[in-house]
Structure formats: structure tokens, C-alpha cells
Amino acid sequence: MENKKLRVCIIGAGFITGTQHIPAINKLKDRLELAGVADCREDALIHLAKTYGIKNIYTDPMEMLDKEKPDLVHVCTANNTHKHFTIEALRRGANVLCEKPLALTLRDAQEMLAEAKKAGKLLMTCQNSRIGAVQEMKKIVDSQELGEIYYTEIENIRRRGVPTWGRFHSAEDNGGGPFCDLGVHYLDSALYVLGNPAFTSVSANTWRKVADRYDANQETLPAMTGNQPFLPRNDYDRKEFTVEDYAAGLVRFQNGMQMQMKFAWAINLPKADAYRFAGTKNGMVYRKGENLENPISLYGQQGDNLVDAQLEVEIAKPGAMEDFGHKGIIENMADAIQKGTPRLITEEEMLNVAAIIEAFYLSAAENREVRADELEQFA
């Protein structure tokens, strides 16, 4: 299959498809052919077809899969439908690249990966934040520059930034709010940098205090997309907002390390966007959201002197639509299918993220610490 173009179908015609997946596929047109896009919203499909010249659009994803017989399916739908569409595509003989999060429970993630193994196909989640600065941080940690890392912080705080173009606000469709949307990226990247350590427990809280009371979407769609190469859904009534607008938690790991997490779509606090790693030799901070020329810094001590150093690394500036990292992930998936190249996101990493997501929301719902060994497994 190495010299043959891969036929790609996409399920879902929303923001991430229009701004990331289709442009990335078009940039890889020597290797990938967009065979079709499916969505229940015909108007969204027509908008995409006109924008990108797509010939084959379907309101029935199963009809598309049966007719187009793709080699690779991108699942770009609401979180609670990921499992259904992934398994349907795998059973029809396609490899699957599923948008994050792969699943909201450990059992669902295990079942999806088991289905891929049974079908003899590849499944990977689209953790596009792995591309860029995260790779540089991984190199630094692997070099032992930080020594033993014992504490980590990850955060993305929007003062007002609720996404309004999809079903992000609905617990029934999305499962959760900013932790499912933003936090999953940071969690996956931090775990990757740290070597995917096993966790022992999660203690978390979620709140809905601002987004269902005020206009809380000021920082999102207009600033991010410009000409909008997709058709947003109609805005929703604030009474329909059923997910958290702020999520915070603490993860404990078997090696004694702790990770503090904070993610907000709407909160009366200043914006923040960073990764922080505290080690016995040095600390490392990646100021992701500050648009700095050199956003990664090290903090240490030489003799009696405290030393700060900004690292000179080439990293795409945050906010650039073409720099979300999807092209790199999609290219890696194509390499895995055609050349047997290892996937950037391993099965063990996908399962670890899914388990922490499940423990996080269970902890918040029951107001208690949740142990890793409490989670239900897929037999």
C-alpha cells in the first residue's frame, strides 16, 4: 500500500474538519485522497463542499463507508459518538484516526482498541498538541536536564472563551466541558513528556458558575477562524449549558509525582496557558499562550546563584490556524498504515488518558478521591 494513495473519509463536518483535517489532507494530496465527508447537517456539508470542492457528501455515515470503502476514516464528531463511529469504521475494514478524546472511560477505550486489533487495523487518537513544543520538552526531560521530576502543573484558563459552534456545551453530546476540550490536550502532552507514568488516584472538582449566566464566548470563534471554512451550529440558550465551565484536579502517580490541573472556558480570573515541571536539577516552564519568541524556560541554581534560561527553539506561534499540528498527526497515521512506522500516540498512552478522564469526572461527581484500580475494565 506504500505507493497507493489512501482513500480518506471524514465523519463530522464541523469546526475541526473544516479548519484542520481537510486542509491537512489537501497538503498531503500526493498521499491522501479525500473520498467523502458525512454529517447529519446537510447545510454544513454543502458549505464544506463549496469551500473545498468536495464531490462526495453524505448525510448517512454508514452509506458513505459502504460506498466509498475508505482506507482511513477520520472521526470528527461529538465525544459521546466516538466509540460508535470508530467501531463501525473498523468493522468495515478502515483504519481510524479519532479526534480527542478517544473515549471518556477506560472500558470504552479498551473496547475500541480491541476492535481495531480484531479487525487487523490501526486506531489512533488525534492528539495534535504532540507536534511542536511538546517534542522539545520531551527531549529536555529525556536528557535528564531536569533530574527527578516530582511535581507538574498544566493549565489553560480562558476568562471568557466558551466554544459555541458545536455541541461543546452539552453533557449528553460532549461528556464534559473544558477538561474534555482543552485539558485532554495538556494531559496527553504532559504524560508523554513524563514517559506516560501510571497514576494511582485522581481528586477533582468541576463548577458551572459563569458560562450559563453571562455572554461567555468572547474569545473564541471570531478571533480563531476569520473567514470560517465551516458552518457553525446556531447559538444555544444558556439554559442548555450542562457541562462545567471550570475544572481542577490533582493526579497522584505511582512514582510519587503529583500533577495539578486547571482548565476554564469562563472564570473571573486572568488568562493563563502553561506547562510547568519541577525537577531536582532544574524546573521547566512552557508559556504556551504568551506568544513569546522563546516560550520554554529553565529555572535552576549554579553555586549560590539562581539561574533562568530561555531556550532558543523554533516553535509555531500559538493561534495560527495552520499550526494546530493536525498535518503532522495525519502524516504519521499515513506512515503507520503505508510503511509500518510507529504511531506517535501509543495504545498505552491512549488508555492512560482515558482512565484519568474517567477518574476525574467520577471524582468530581462523587466528591471524593478515585483510585485507578476502581475503574471498570473491558474483558
Reply yes or no on whether the pLDDT at 315 is more than 90. Answer: no
pLDDT for residue 311? 84
pLDDT band with cut points at 50, 70 and 90 for residue 235: low
42 in helix, strand or coil? helix
pLDDT for residue 336? 98
With contact defined as beta carbons under 8 Å apart, do 196 and 354 qualify? no
Is residue 237 in some structural domain? yes
Reply yes or no on whether the pLDDT at 92 is more than 60. Answer: yes
Is residue 347 in some structural domain? no
Is the pTM here over 0.85, yes or no?
A: yes
pLDDT for residue 319? 45
pLDDT band with cut points at 50, 70 and 90 for residue 222: very low
Domain co-membership, 370 together with 333: no
With contact defined as beta carbons under 8 Å apart, do 151 and 189 qualify? no
Q: Using CA of residue 208, residue 209, residue 211, residue 216, what is the dihedral sign?
A: negative
Is residue 12 in some structural domain? yes
Domain co-membership, 201 together with 308: yes
Give the integer Cα–Cα distance in Å for 345 and 348: 8
Domain co-membership, 83 together with 230: no
Question: Listing from the earlier edge strand, what are the strands of the sheet with 57-58?
Answer: 57-58, 32-38, 6-11, 72-75, 95-99, 123-126
64 in helix, strand or coil? helix
Contacts of residue 71, Cβ cutoff 8 Å, sequence gap at least 6: 1, 6, 7, 8, 94, 95, 337
Higher pLDDT residue, 221 or 206?
A: 206
Reply yes or no on whether the pLDDT at 320 is more than 50. Answer: no
Higher pLDDT residue, 283 or 379?
A: 283
Q: List the end-to-end C-alpha distance of the chain, in Å, as a whole number.
A: 33
pLDDT band with cut points at 50, 70 and 90 for residue 105: very high
pLDDT band with cut points at 50, 70 and 90 for residue 166: confident
pLDDT band with cut points at 50, 70 and 90 for residue 227: low
What is the count of structural domains for the chain? 2
pLDDT for residue 228? 67
Domain co-membership, 118 together with 173: no
The mean pLDDT of 223-241, rounded to a whole number, is 64
pLDDT band with cut points at 50, 70 and 90 for residue 312: confident
Is residue 349 in some structural domain? no
Domain co-membership, 69 together with 210: no
32 in helix, strand or coil? strand
210 in helix, strand or coil? coil
Domain with 23 in it: what CATH number? 3.40.50.720
pLDDT band with cut points at 50, 70 and 90 for residue 240: confident
Per the prediction, the chain carries an average pLDDT of 91
Out of 22-31, 56-65, 120-129, 290-299, least confident range: 290-299
pLDDT for residue 223? 44
Alpha-helical regions (H) of the chain: 15-16, 22-27, 42-52, 61-68, 82-91, 106-119, 133-142, 171-174, 178, 184-193, 221-225, 326-339, 347-366
> In 10 A of CB 144, how many CB atoms?
11
Domain co-membership, 202 together with 247: yes
Per-state percent for the chain, helix, strand, coil, to nearest 5: 40, 25, 40
218 in helix, strand or coil? coil
Q: Which percentage of the chain shows pLDDT scores above 90?
A: 77
What is the DSSP-derived secondary structure letter of residue 131?
A: S
Is residue 151 in some structural domain? yes
Reply yes or no on whether the pLDDT at 318 is more than 50. Answer: no
pLDDT for residue 371? 98
Domain co-membership, 253 together with 364: yes
pLDDT for residue 216? 60
Reply yes or no on whether the pLDDT at 218 is more than 80. Answer: no
pLDDT for residue 89? 98
Reply yes or no on whether the pLDDT at 224 is more than 50. Answer: no
What's the domain range around 87?
A: 6-129+324-341
With contact defined as beta carbons under 8 Å apart, do 251 and 202 qualify? yes
C-alpha to C-alpha distances, 307 to 283, 284, 297, 367, nearest whole angstrom: 10, 12, 10, 41
With contact defined as beta carbons under 8 Å apart, do 106 and 354 qualify? yes
Is residue 44 in some structural domain? yes
Domain co-membership, 141 together with 223: yes
**What would the pLDDT profile of 359-372 be if each residue is shown by its tens digit?**
999 999 999 999 99
Domain co-membership, 304 together with 155: yes
Domain co-membership, 315 together with 335: no
Is residue 82 in some structural domain? yes
Domain with 291 in it: what CATH number? 3.30.360.10
The mean pLDDT of 211-240, rounded to a whole number, is 63
Judge if the upstream peptide bond of residue 101 is cis by omega within 30 degrees of 0.
yes
Give the integer Cα–Cα distance in Å for 249 and 363: 9
Is residue 87 in some structural domain? yes
Domain co-membership, 155 together with 125: no
- For the stretch 257-292, what's the b/e string if a residue is b when 16 or more beta carbons lie within 10 angstroms of its beta carbon? bebebbbbbbbeeebbbbbbbbbeebbbbbbbbeee
Domain co-membership, 145 together with 121: no
Reply yes or no on whether the pLDDT at 236 is more than 80. Answer: no
Reply yes or no on whether the pLDDT at 98 is more than 60. Answer: yes
The mean pLDDT of 208-218, rounded to a whole number, is 75
